[in-house]
């Protein structure tokens, strides 16, 4: 089983909406996950607008890909690069550490992630 940034078993991020590169609810990754969707984040309006402005619209539903569109409060497995970009811009969404893949600490210091930690 994959580990999270706390070095315990990776927990489910969200199943409604169903998230994860593999759409299994977990922020697992593999060789075909070029975006490295490993940060379990709780969406905020500010982050969703930031992401849309960067060319990644997570708000608008895309039915052909079974994507419902996200709203504030939804949890979603984000690409590590987008989260880091948002953090540098001052609008990173909160992170669920128990559901964030251990590989995240290869890109972001664990203490930074802890500053953004939420439990729900």
> Domains in the chain and their CATH numbers?
1-120 (3.30.56.110)
- Residue-wise pLDDT tens digits, 71-100: 999 999 999 999 999 999 999 999 999 999
Measured between alpha carbons, how far is residue 1 from residues 7, 9, 31, 33, 89 in Å? 11, 6, 16, 18, 33
Site of tokens 């905020």: 44
The confidence score (pLDDT) of residue 65 equals 83
- The band of 119, judged by pLDDT with boundaries at 50, 70 and 90, is confident
Please tell me the pTM assigned to this model: 0.94
Q: Is the pLDDT of residue 70 over 80?
A: yes
Provide the pLDDT for residue 116: 98
């Amino acid at each position: 089983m994959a580990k999270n940034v706390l070095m315990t078993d990776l927990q489910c991020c969200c199943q409604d909406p169903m998230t994860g590169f593999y759409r299994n609810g977990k922020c697992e990754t593999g060789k075909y996950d070029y975006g490295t969707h490993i940060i379990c984040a709780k969406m905020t309006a500010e982050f969703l607008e930031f992401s849309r402005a960067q060319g990644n619209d997570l708000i608008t539903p895309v039915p052909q890909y079974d994507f419902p569109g996200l709203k504030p409060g939804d949890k979603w497995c984000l690409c590590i690069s987008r989260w880091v970009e948002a953090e540098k811009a001052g609008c990173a969404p909160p992170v669920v550490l128990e559901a964030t893949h251990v590989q995240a600490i290869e890109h972001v210091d664990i203490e930074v992630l802890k500053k953004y930690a939420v439990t729900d």
